Each structure stands twice: as C-alpha cells, then as structure tokens.
A and B are shown apart, each in its own frame.
Chain A
Amino acid sequence: MAETSFDIIVVGGGPGGYVAAIRAAQLGLKTAVVEREHMGGICLNWGCIPTKALLRTSEIYGLIKRADAFGLSVKEVAYDAKKVVERSRKVANQLSNGVKGLMRKNKITVFDGTAKLAGTDGGQRKLAVAMNDKSNVTLTAKNVILATGARARQLPGLESDGKLVWTYKEAMVPPEFPKSLLVIGSGAIGIEFASFYRTMGAEVTVAEVLDRILPVEDEEVSAFAKRQFEKQGMKILTSATVGNLKKADDKVTVTISAGGKSQETTVDRVISAVGIVGNVEGIGLEGTKVKIDKTHIVIDEWGFTGEPGVYAIGDVAGPPWLAHKAMHEGVLVVEKIAGVKGVHPMNTANIPGCTYCQPQVASIGLTEAAAKAKGLQVKVGKFPFIGNGKAIALGEPEGFVKTVFDAKTGELLGAHMIGAEVTELIQGYSVAKTLETTEAELMATVFPHPTLSEMMHEAVLAAYGRTLHI
C-alpha cells in the first residue's frame, strides 16, 4: 500500500500545481499531487506549449512565403496538417514526460485520479481520490492546495460540439485545417488561433463583443494589432455579437451583429474563445468555508481560502489566467505554509502577459488609460520598430514599444509592446518593475546594439523627450 499521509497534497498537476509540489519537496515537506488527466495540465498539454509549436510552424511558413524579400528563392511551399499537429503533440508529450520526471526526481507521489475534499480528521485534511484505475483511496495532509485550473467558457447557443464548433482543444488538433474560420473572442487564445490559421491560409473572421481586440492591452496596441491583422487579410468585427448558429454537414452559418448591421456568415469552423471558467465543481467545496465568486475560488493574498488547511492557486483562484502567475502563486503559498521568512504576496501589477500572434504582443503593468483612470499624471514614451536597426535587418519593421511612467515619481507603471519577439523582451521591464527602478536607472542601462531591446531603452528616453533615433 502506498503512502497516504502527507504534509501537502496538491490537487491538479498543471503549472501551478506541479511547481507548488516541487517547491514543497525542496522545503522538505512530504508532498503528493493528484492529477486526473496528465501532468503539466492544460498549459503543457493543451495550452501554452502546443500552441507555441503550432505558431512556430505558421511563423516559418509565413517567412518562407516572403523568402524572396530575403533573397531566397523557394519554388513551392506547402504544409501537411497532420505533421504540423503531430509535431505540436510531440512537443507537448515531451514536456509532460519531463514533468513526470521532475516529480520522481523530487520524490513527489503522483496519484492519477480525481480528488475531493472529504472533511478533516484530527487536524488533517482528508481527500477522497477516485483513482483512474477505478480504485478509491483516502489521503490525508495538513494542507491541501487546490490547483484544479479552468476550462473554456461555453456561450449558450454557441456550445462547442468538438466537430464544427471548437474550443482551444479541438482547434489544436484538427484533422485538417479549415479553409474558413470564425473566431469568437479576441483575447490571447482567440487571437493566437486566428493568427495561426490566417497565416496557414484560412479566411479568418474575428468577432469581439467589446469595442476593440485584445481588450486587456493598451488601446494603442489593440488598434495597431487590428490594422496589422487586417493587412494580413483577417476580418475583424468589434462590438459584435454572434447568434443564430445553424449547422450543416461541414459548414456553420451564424449571424454576426456589429455596428447596427447584421450579416450572415458561413464558415467551415467556429472557434469559441470567450474566456474560461474555474474548475470548482466536484472537488468537495460544498459545506466548507471556501467561497466562490463567478466560478473562481476566493483567496487572500497568501492563497488561503478561509477553510483551515485549504489553499487555492492558479486559474481556479481567479485572474490573470496565466501559467506564470499560477507558478508564482504555487511557490509563495507553499513557502507561506512552510513558514519561510520573507515571503511576499504577489504584486499583480508586475505580472507580464504575452500573446504569440504575428505580430507578437507583450505587456506589463498599467495601460496608459488605466494609469490616467487612477488619477496619476503620466509620461508616455513610444518608439517604433522602424527606428531600430535590428528590426529593419530582420525584416520586421512593424511594431512599437510604449512606456508609461508616473510623472511625479518616475515609477515605471506599465510597458506595452507589439512586434517581432516582444514576448522575449518584456522580461526586461518585468525585472525593472520588480526592482522598482525609475526612468533614471533604465536610461542609465546599457542595451546591446544591435538588438530589438534598444527600443526598450528608446521608449524610456522618449517618455522624457530624449529619444535618440527618431
């Protein structure tokens, strides 16, 4: 009989859960993870990672199609949808196996099953686990961390059917690529698929209920992204609602209302990417002090739910729904439980966000509008890719870097970037924000030439009227 008593049990083996488990093991706590499907969770298996593999394909495909601009002649370029998807799955599997290896290395016990809070026993939390092999076990631990994640939100009348109406999951493993596609929702997930399929040649329409795409980003980024996508041939409808869905054998017809007009559109496939809901059902929250707000578990700054010994992290504990937020929460909650000194609650203003469409989008902190709404006086700097030598050399002259500073203190309030490789650049501003640098330190930092990162310097200089290269 395997061990059933632990110091910490993490429910859910996604990025938040497995990282929490590793940190707990590092701190000498006896740790277990209960995972119902696959280690690595959505992120590794059905989210961040496999989509990056797909988007790498579309990026290369897009580059080859304009090979001539780089002096290369490529006679013919074609894709094999099956192979594209296979590669993406291989990448996901490799990493999922990697996580299993990490569990073994850290002597973390993994239970393949579905866990449910089942009361307490002498100060110990009890978890009833329905194992995937149909057996049942009861586990006990002083502390339980709920990291059950989230799933795609379903709009009434637009529910996914796995065939014609997809969620991210089906969109990731299509048997073949659709020729025409409607993406409902223009957050990170929707836009990444829209960008992938557009680059692979599909006719893509994006319908966003709000008045701009990528609504969490800075308004200028949204506007710039819209122009770029439209240049690529994407059709973008904002303030748009979708209804009256009619399915044929291999086609879907919907009515899209936007700008006071309604139009019928027929597409091969629909991707519904209208947000996510937390996985709060079936985990035994009933009768506990755990509170739920709009499908998410309510926690304090230490991930505590209010129910003794029960913590929550990651997507199930609310926005931002980002793997790196979940990982960070996992570490801080475990350290807090273990009594590590100097643990700090998470500062959500310092969590960067990345969207891997073409052009890429990355940002951190407050948008210009949000900063002004807070009543702050701001200094805003902007620098375009066209002014950067490396961007020109790469053949990527489209995009910009924008900074928002507090005019009074020089605090970097936010940074917003769109263009090639910005998802790899944003961490520079993350470090800056975490260290609480002001414009002075950023100006005094030497950025290597020629790199795209020079634009990060220039955008700071620009906020103070000192930009050098435009």
Chain B
Amino acid sequence: MSINILMPALSPTMTEGKLAKWHVKTGDDVKSGQVICEIETDKATMEVEAVDEGKIGQIVVPEGAEGVKVNAVIAILLEEGESALPAGAAPAPTSAPKSAPATAAPAPATPAAAPAPAMPAASAPPPKPAAAPSGGRIFASPLAKRIAAERGLDLSRIKGTGPNGRIVKADVEHAVPAAAPAPAPAARPAPAPAAPQSVFAAPGDKRVPHTSIRKVIARRMLESKQTVPHFYLTVELEIDALLAARQAVNTVAEKKGTKVSVNDMMIKACAKALRDHPECNASWTEDEMIQYGAVDISVAVATDRGLITPIVRSADLKGLGQIASEMKDLAARAKTGKLKLEEFQGGGFTISNLGMFGINSFAAIINPPQAMILAVGVGEERPVVRKGQVVVRNTMSCTLAVDHRVVDGAMGAQYLQTLRAYVEQPASMLL
C-alpha cells in the first residue's frame, strides 16, 4: 500500500502554502522523522518530517510550487517491498499548484492510460495532465461551509467528525474562535478588491510576486482595519527610573550572558498590567468575550521577509532575564524564518516598537483577534515641566490601539495608568 504524503496544515490560518524545497527525491529511502521538505507557510519556513518509513515513489508537487492546498498529496511513499506505484494508481486528490512551472506539473501516474489527443505542439498550450489533480480540498458539508463563512471561522482549523473526517454542521457550531490568530470572528468577508488589471508596468518597473507572509500581512491588516473599530490613547511615560533599573539589572545580567533591553522591560510591564486588567486580555467573538487565562505578549519583529510577531508566553510570570534571553532567541530565529508554529501563533497583546528608528510616536494596527496593541516610540531626553520648572527627563511616547468592541475608552485609560505605574516605578514589577 502506498502512502500519500499530504500538505500539512502547519498554521491555523494556512489554507495553502509554498513547497519551498524538497530534501528527498524519487527513489530515496526515508525514515520516520527524517526531514523531507520545507514548506513556506504564512509566516515561516517549516520543515516537514516523514511520519512513515518507506521509499519516495513519486514527488507529486514540485519544488517551488505555490498555492499548494492543505491536505493535497505532495508525494507518494512506497512501503517496503513495493517497487513502483501500482498500475492505475493516480495520486489521490491533489491541488493544482497555481504557479508551478508547466514543465514541472505533476505527471499523471499512468500517462499511457489516457493518451492526450494529438495537438499541434507549437501553438497549443501545454496539455494538462490527464488525471487533472483537483482538490486538496477541505471536506466539509455545504451547510458547514456556509455557517463557517458567516461566523468567519477557518475550516482548516476545524476538526471534522463526519464520515472520513468531513466537517459537518455540529463541528462548526462547536468551534470557538480560539486564542490563536483567527480571522476576526465578527468579520463579514471583505469584498474582494477588484484585480488591478490596468496597472501599467512602465519600463524599469518590476513585478514582485507576493510571498506567503506578504499575503497574510495584507489580508490580516486589511481585515483588522476594516472590521475592528480602533481607537487610540497616547501617553508620555517618564523612563528615567526604568533606565536606571535596567542599568542595575544589566550589571548582574551581563555576567550571566544576557542583556535586558528597554523593550524587554516593556514586555514585562505590559504583561503585569494585563494581569491586573484581565478584561483587556481578551478577544471579541460574535457570541461572547473570550478572556485569556495566560498573559502572552506578541512582539513585532521586522524581518527581511516581513513582519512577524513571536510570543513571550506567560510574560507576567517570567523574570526580566528570562524574557530577555527568550526574546533574543525568538528574534534571531524570526529573522531566519525558523520559528516554530507555536512560537508565533496566539498571543493576547502585541508590542510594536519603532523607537530604534527614532520614531516619536505612531498608531499601530491591532493584530486580530487581540484587542490591543501598544506602539512604542523612541525614549529620549525631553524638556518637561515639573513643579513649575522646565527640567530634562527621559520620556517615551506610547500609543495604545484598542478594539472598542472589547475595551472602552475608560478601561483602556485605566490600563495605561497601571502600565505607567509599572514603568515609572519599575520596582513594583518585582511584586
């Protein structure tokens, strides 16, 4: 019995992905656990390991193929003793990779079985494989699909309990938009923007195909701005005490090989404040509010490939040293696309810091289904008035973007008050 190797759903928002690289070729023996290919998903490049042992009988989806649907057959594994695909065995439903080069399109398993009609080779488009792979589809009942669409649920994240794992109505009804990044539950599907067909490329312009990560950023940010009612609260935080505390901490931390940044301290402060305001550590869903038990802080990291938000889990419970070393590791791996799924999936609050670019203040877009994002500006010496005197203080401007469906203005303001207390009296974070 040959085994179909399927395109895995590596991320909750993933419905399709790019087959970035094959590590094996037809005829190779593979062991369970061996890396067989790399798949570029929403936000990272993932290595796919073989689950079963056997010999690669056929690579169905060629390297470089984009838009490979989740659950499409990407390769066929032969078990011990099998030397070739049984006659007539066509790859089970696979996706037609959208932009796979025609020459590398999956060949039908039995080319002789369905001879293509003779065509003038020069002018005809390349003949489609006889057994046109179709599908890679998620099996769901029409009713389940419709309810999922209405509720903004991603079918690829729902486990089907119907025949052969088909997603049925009950599965969709029981699915709660989870803490993991989901499409904003209340969102109506955004109208598809008309394809910009008339954009004329002048000589010298170049067309850059979207990467998976670019597409996800575009989709999610558009969705957020269109469906999440944002409002913004800005505060100017005095950070002299924070800087002093940082210096003190680092004299010890550096001996242990870590160095705590202002951003690390902001992670801790935001997390502590969220613990104090659980109503802000929440997500809107159509039926109810989801308040998260853990305080997980997503931190925006710029990479060559685009924005990604690795997560410091339970940041309210972690010491600054641990946050600093975790963040260093996460950021490094984010930049090389080696984050694991669970390391950027979820989170209840995001910090985006553009202070290093000298940005004074900015307003960030909420990362759905989270309810808040803090945009941190540069910390620098500024004149402030204290007791009637103009004095110099290190200050930092922070703008909180808030989902008004979850958090009202006063609640957001109170959260910032608490945050200010932690930042301006950093010793209180030790409590």
Do A438 and B163 touch (CB < 8 A)?
Answer: no
Interface residues in A55-90 (C-beta closer than 8 Å to B) = none
A contact residues around B164 at 8 Å (CB) = 342
B contact residues around A440 at 8 Å (CB) = 142, 146
Residues 118-151 of B, flagged 1 when their CB comes within 8 A of A and 0 if not, give: 0000000000000000000000011110110010
Contacts A409-B146, A410-B146 known; A436 to B163 CB distance under 8 Å? no
Any chain A CB within 8 A of the CB of B268?
no
Residues 401-414 of A, flagged 1 when their CB comes within 8 A of B and 0 if not, give: 00000001111000
CA distance A213 to B142 in the complex (A): 36
CA distance A408 to B151 in the complex (A): 12
Residues 380-423 of B, flagged 1 when their CB comes within 8 A of A and 0 if not, give: 00000000000000000000000000000000000000000000
Do B141 and A436 touch (CB < 8 A)?
Answer: yes
Interface size band for A: 10 to 19
Do A409 and B141 touch (CB < 8 A)?
Answer: no
Any chain A CB within 8 A of the CB of B169?
yes
CA distance A408 to B149 in the complex (A): 12
Residues 37-49 of B, flagged 1 when their CB comes within 8 A of A and 0 if not, give: 0000000000000
Contacts A436-B141, A436-B143, A437-B142 known; A409 to B163 CB distance under 8 Å? no
Max chain B Cβ within 10 angstroms of own Cβ: one of A436, A437, A440, A441: A436
Interface of B is mostly: helix
Do A437 and B163 touch (CB < 8 A)?
Answer: no
Q: How far is the CB of A12 from chain B (nearest CB, A)?
A: 29
Any chain A CB within 8 A of the CB of B168?
yes
Do B150 and A435 touch (CB < 8 A)?
Answer: no
B contact residues around A436 at 8 Å (CB) = 141-144, 168-169
Interface residues in A407-459 (C-beta closer than 8 Å to B) = 408-411, 435-438, 440-441
Q: How far is the CB of A206 from chain B (nearest CB, A)?
A: 39
CA distance A441 to B143 in the complex (A): 10
Q: How far is the CB of B147 from chain A (nearest CB, A)?
A: 6
CA distance A344 to B147 in the complex (A): 21
For B143, the closest partner residue in chain A by CB is A436
Do A441 and B163 touch (CB < 8 A)?
Answer: no
For B141, the closest partner residue in chain A by CB is A436
CA distance A440 to B149 in the complex (A): 15
Do A411 and B169 touch (CB < 8 A)?
Answer: yes
A contact residues around B163 at 8 Å (CB) = 342, 344
Interface residues in B144-170 (C-beta closer than 8 Å to A) = 144, 146-147, 150, 161-164, 168-169
CA distance A436 to B142 in the complex (A): 6
CA distance A415 to B22 in the complex (A): 52
A contact residues around B161 at 8 Å (CB) = 344
Q: How far is the CB of B139 from chain A (nearest CB, A)?
A: 11
For A435, the closest partner residue in chain B by CB is B141
A contact residues around B146 at 8 Å (CB) = 409-410, 438, 440
For B165, the closest partner residue in chain A by CB is A342
Q: How far is the CB of A442 from chain B (nearest CB, A)?
A: 9
CA distance A125 to B189 in the complex (A): 57
- Tell me the total A-B contact number using a CB cutoff of 8 A: 31
CA distance A411 to B141 in the complex (A): 11
For A432, the closest partner residue in chain B by CB is B142
Interface size band for B: 10 to 19
Interface of A is mostly: loop
Interface residues in A349-380 (C-beta closer than 8 Å to B) = none
Q: How far is the CB of A470 from chain B (nearest CB, A)?
A: 27
CA distance A342 to B144 in the complex (A): 18
Q: How far is the CB of A351 from chain B (nearest CB, A)?
A: 17
A contact residues around B162 at 8 Å (CB) = 344
CA distance A344 to B142 in the complex (A): 19
Max chain A Cβ within 10 angstroms of own Cβ: one of B141, B143, B169: B143
For B169, the closest partner residue in chain A by CB is A436
B contact residues around A408 at 8 Å (CB) = 150
Do A437 and B150 touch (CB < 8 A)?
Answer: no
CA distance A441 to B150 in the complex (A): 17
Interface residues in A148-177 (C-beta closer than 8 Å to B) = none
CA distance A414 to B85 in the complex (A): 47
CA distance A411 to B168 in the complex (A): 12
CA distance A322 to B56 in the complex (A): 52
Max chain A Cβ within 10 angstroms of own Cβ: one of B142, B150, B163: B142
Q: How far is the CB of B328 from chain A (nearest CB, A)?
A: 46
CA distance A47 to B142 in the complex (A): 37
CA distance A342 to B168 in the complex (A): 13
For B163, the closest partner residue in chain A by CB is A342
Q: How far is the CB of B189 from chain A (nearest CB, A)?
A: 16
CA distance A202 to B55 in the complex (A): 77
Q: How far is the CB of B393 from chain A (nearest CB, A)?
A: 58
Q: How far is the CB of A341 from chain B (nearest CB, A)?
A: 10
Q: How far is the CB of A18 from chain B (nearest CB, A)?
A: 25
B contact residues around A441 at 8 Å (CB) = 142
Q: How far is the CB of A41 from chain B (nearest CB, A)?
A: 29
B contact residues around A344 at 8 Å (CB) = 161-163
B contact residues around A410 at 8 Å (CB) = 143, 146
For A347, the closest partner residue in chain B by CB is B170
For B162, the closest partner residue in chain A by CB is A344
Do B168 and A409 touch (CB < 8 A)?
Answer: no
B contact residues around A342 at 8 Å (CB) = 163-164
Q: How far is the CB of A315 from chain B (nearest CB, A)?
A: 27
CA distance A151 to B169 in the complex (A): 37
Q: How far is the CB of B169 from chain A (nearest CB, A)?
A: 5
Residues 157-189 of B, flagged 1 when their CB comes within 8 A of A and 0 if not, give: 000011110001100000000000000000000
Q: How far is the CB of B168 from chain A (nearest CB, A)?
A: 6
Interface residues in B207-240 (C-beta closer than 8 Å to A) = none
B contact residues around A437 at 8 Å (CB) = 141-143
CA distance A184 to B144 in the complex (A): 44
For A442, the closest partner residue in chain B by CB is B142
CA distance A411 to B170 in the complex (A): 13
B contact residues around A435 at 8 Å (CB) = 141-142
Q: How far is the CB of B141 from chain A (nearest CB, A)?
A: 3
CA distance A342 to B169 in the complex (A): 16
For B161, the closest partner residue in chain A by CB is A344
CA distance A447 to B96 in the complex (A): 31
CA distance A31 to B169 in the complex (A): 36
A contact residues around B141 at 8 Å (CB) = 435-437
CA distance A436 to B150 in the complex (A): 16
Q: How far is the CB of B72 from chain A (nearest CB, A)?
A: 22
CA distance A435 to B168 in the complex (A): 8
Max chain A Cβ within 10 angstroms of own Cβ: one of B146, B162, B163, B169: B146
For A410, the closest partner residue in chain B by CB is B146
CA distance A411 to B169 in the complex (A): 10
CA distance A382 to B372 in the complex (A): 51
CA distance A438 to B141 in the complex (A): 9
A sample of 20 more A-B contacts (CB under 8 A), given A408-B150, A409-B146, is A342-B163, A342-B164, A344-B161, A344-B162, A409-B147, A409-B150, A410-B143, A410-B146, A411-B143, A411-B169, A435-B141, A435-B142, A436-B141, A436-B142, A436-B143, A436-B144, A437-B141, A437-B143, A438-B143, A440-B142
Q: List 17 A-B contacts (CB under 8 A).
A: A342-B164, A344-B163, A408-B150, A409-B143, A409-B147, A409-B150, A435-B142, A436-B141, A436-B143, A436-B144, A437-B141, A437-B142, A437-B143, A438-B142, A438-B146, A440-B142, A440-B146
Q: Give 8 nearest A-B pairs by CB, closest first.
A: A436-B141, A436-B143, A438-B142, A437-B142, A411-B143, A441-B142, A438-B143, A436-B169
A residues in contact (CB < 8 Å) with B: 342, 344, 408-411, 435-438, 440-441
